[in-house]
Structure 1
């Protein structure tokens, strides 16, 4: 207890003269925002990137198509993990043209698995646009990691989709869950019997040419 009081007194003295104040926090400088190349006409969009790829690896792989000025792998803001796509800016138009003509960057990873990164042209403002939103098929709503532009596309339209049918009821004609079953109780539809133009043909008559029932037989002797 005595040692604890002494430590508290020492701490108060240090705080009084300012020598014990905690150092100010420095802003993080290891993750600088990447340069915006959205207006560069020599930029291409590369998707289907392996999760382990960095800016340097992307630049190296695209370097076979032309001289790369900059390469950026897009990272998730929360997890800092690769989002599976990025952008590459070439030094000249010929590099971009060669990349677009190649369409894919193919190879093998260290674990011998194959990769095929797709290269395509991109326009300013479409970097993070949700393609499903543009087609009115995005089910994620506000939690979607891609942007939903106003005036273009829309959310997933709730369709009058048919409720799934209860398999137990369909097979047995009854369901052990009764009204609590979340599925629809629809009996298995039986095909309608064919419309007969007349009585069915007598099987015995057709096979043997005679029938012991004679005229009393309800089937046709033809």
Structure 2
């Protein structure tokens, strides 16, 4: 009985190639394989299937835009979700590009493109040389009226700029 339990690494299952190929995992993998490969996340890993790190993108986070229209040909091998989930829909192209969508029954997310823009570091420090043509978001800060009159009791904890 002890020989059967001790030699479990020699047991191979028919589904192991599928798990390795489709999910990027192998049965009984080492601890390092739990980390996702940084090169794979950037698009290409030079080590391929011999890489010591994991090559799966994890949970599918966005609904497949082709599946929505019943046009996805990848089936189960698709890297996108094949379920109707309102919170995981892809962004609406028209709303993103033109800030309006004329389809009243649009399935896609309407995310304001300005909300995704990063805050301009230079503007927040005081001056941005790009002015209104800057790609970053210029957020105006409200100056504390008490600070302007001479003293703010909240000091650095004040919610307004000082």
TM interval, short-chain normalised: 0.3 to 0.5
**Normalized per residue, which structure has more helix?**
2
**Normalized per residue, which structure has more strand?**
1
Instruction: Report the TM-score, using the length of structure 1 for normalisation.
Output: 0.25
Bigger relative CO (Cα 8 Å, ≥ 6 apart): 1
